[in-house]
Chains A and B, each alone.
Chain A
Amino acid sequence: MKQLGKFVIFIGQLFVRRESFRTYMKLVFDEAIKVGYNSIFIVVIVSVFMGAVTTVQTAYNLISPLIADPVIALVVRDMTLIELAPTITAIVYAGKVGSNLAGELGTMRITEQIDALEVMGINATSYLVLPKIVGSILMFPLLVIIAAFVSIYGGYVTALVTGVISGTDYIIGIQMDFIPFQVIFAMIKAVTFGFIVASISAFKGFYTEGGALEVGKSSTNAVTSSCIAILAADFLLAYLLAPLLTL
């Protein structure tokens, strides 16, 4: 509870005493490259397998003469879009970007770099953390789009290679009963998760106390807390927004 209060104050701190807009633009750009571009590789790898496994699994589970083959692809598409692409990618992202971010800020804290900024009269919270959060909110949805695309495409390739369903059925299936709101839903999740990972990890790193050992702990804590928050938010969003899918 005390942590939560401190977190809220921390987020409030982001918006006071800001530097020039141009300074921020540049920082956000740098961070976006760092968190976005550098995560593409791992996201692609994970997504290929995500699509492949979902396709194979669904194909085996729906092995009934009553269910048409394209439905398998439809299930793959729906699962990927509204659940797997945002959430699994977020977990991976927390592991890569979250730990990195907490480690970076933690190191800056214990080597007095954050103090150095404060003494210069710069609001270290907003200078260091705000660009990371904004960068993450901008880039994570893009990663989710890549993940969804690669994953669905991965499913297609799997279908072709393993022959669990035919390529034509797959293509038909992923176009069946498509609800465009699914994409918006996925993007809402993505923005939320992008914020969660960056803000929680930054918080954990920023308040590191002690030495190198504690920096490691902050990194681990950042990942653990981010993951829990992601799953809780995922549930909450599903509960609030899923009814809108059927409208």
Chain B
Amino acid sequence: MIEANNISKSFDGKQVLFDVSAVFQKGKTNLIIGASGTGKSVLLKCIVGLSHPDEGSVYFDKRDFTHANKELQTEVRREMGMLFQGGALFDSTNVEKNVMFPLDVLTKMRYEEKLERVNFCLERVGLENVNKKMPSEISGGMKKRVGIARAIVNNPNYLFCDEPNSGLDPQTSIRIDNLIKDITAEYNITTVVVSHDMNSVLEIGETVIFIYQGKKLWEGTRDDIAASDVRELNDFVFASRVMKELKDSR
């Protein structure tokens, strides 16, 4: 379980996050949704510690990560896996070495064990026979899946995904969403997903928080999102005609 308490963050005097608190539950896919530029990525960066919040703190299973010393921070980080928006694969090495990387530096496993684990993870994300391909030689969707494989290879307790399906076709999106959801349940991981895709919200949003202009305006589950009376959330959810018609038909 991850608890974010009263997170505020400014850049050059411009406040981006206002006192955001949220709880992300273990074994569930927890979504952060909101329009473009509202501070979702900044919130995620504050949570994983790539950015230091001006105020507030983040607890990983009761461990204060934001104000932890280097040792504890490293310890918590080694339990994290993260999928970046663009995949962030190391472009100087091939797919296999990318996925093996966390094992290489963080564990003392034998090569055969590592290879077995890598192949298992690649298989898990539906990628076979791409081991020797370079990141530049595979498609965007494949990069994302390799990114997921790399994020889960070291059995993380926490998984973070920044817009796992932006720029992908609807079918691939749903595959990736479901993959994240399945892995989360299967290994009992605390997963946080940033998204602005309504399909994924309805598909995998076991808990959802809605960020609007740096503030948390709503939280709940995918089932009560349609019934909410927060106007900004309604505007966000029912932005498309199809969604509106769907609501009216209910």
Q: Residue B85 at the A interface, CB < 8 A?
A: yes
Instruction: Judge whether A120 and B77 touch: CB under 8 Å.
Output: yes
B88 in the interface (beta carbon within 8 A)? yes
Q: Is the CB of A111 within 8 A of B74?
A: no
- A116's nearest neighbour on chain B, judged by CB, is B88
Beyond A16-B70, A119-B48, A119-B80, whether A112 also contacts B105 by CB under 8 A is no
Residues of A close to B50: CB separation below 8 A: 115, 118-119
The answer to whether residues A120 and B105 also contact, given A17-B70, A17-B74, A112-B85 and a CB cut-off of 8 A, is yes
A116 interface neighbour in B73, B75, B84, B92, Cβ under 8 Å: B84
The answer to whether residues A23 and B105 also contact, given A17-B70, A116-B84, A121-B77 and a CB cut-off of 8 A, is yes
A-side interface residues, number (CB < 8 Å): 18
* Chain A residues whose CB sits within 8 angstroms of the CB of B73 once the complex forms: 121
Contacts of B106 in A (CB 8 A): 120-122
Residue B78 CB within 8 A of the other chain? yes
Q: In the bound complex, do residue B77 and residue A111 qualify as a contact, i.e. CB atoms below 8 Å apart?
A: no
- Kindly state the separation between the CA atoms of A108 and B90 in the bound complex, as whole angstroms: 8
Interfacial chain A residues near B49, Cβ < 8 Å:
118-119
CB-based contact A111/B91 at 8 Å: yes
B88-A113 in contact (CB<8A): yes
- Which residues of A112-151 have CB atoms within 8 Å of chain B's CB atoms? 112-113, 115-116, 118-122, 127
Contacts of B77 in A (CB 8 A): 118-121
Count of B residues near A, CB < 8 Å? 26
Does B140 count as interface, using CB distance less than 8 angstroms?
A: no
B56 contacts partner chain A, Cβ-Cβ < 8 Å: no
Is B70 in contact with A113, judged by CB distance below 8 angstroms? no
| A23 CA / B86 CA spacing, docked (Å) | 27
Given contacts A16-B70, A17-B70, A115-B50, contact A122 B105 (CB under 8 A): yes
Whether a CB of chain A sits under 8 angstroms from the CB of B95 is no
Q: A16-B70, A113-B91, A115-B50 are in contact. Are A120 and B102 (CB under 8 A)?
A: yes
Cα A35 to Cα B59 with chains together (Å): 43
Chain A interface (Cβ within 8 Å of chain B)?
16-17, 19, 23, 104, 107-108, 111-113, 115-116, 118-122, 127
Which residues of B line the A interface, CB within 8 A? Answer: 48-50, 70, 73-78, 80, 82, 84-86, 88-92, 101-102, 104-106, 160
Given contacts A107-B91, A116-B82, A120-B80, 20 further A-B contacts (CB under 8 A): A17-B70, A19-B105, A111-B86, A111-B88, A111-B91, A112-B85, A112-B86, A115-B88, A116-B88, A116-B90, A118-B49, A118-B50, A119-B48, A120-B102, A120-B105, A120-B106, A121-B73, A121-B76, A121-B77, A121-B106
In the A-B complex, list the 8 residue pairs whose CB atoms are closest, starting with the nearest.
A121-B77, A112-B88, A121-B78, A116-B88, A112-B84, A121-B74, A119-B82, A113-B88
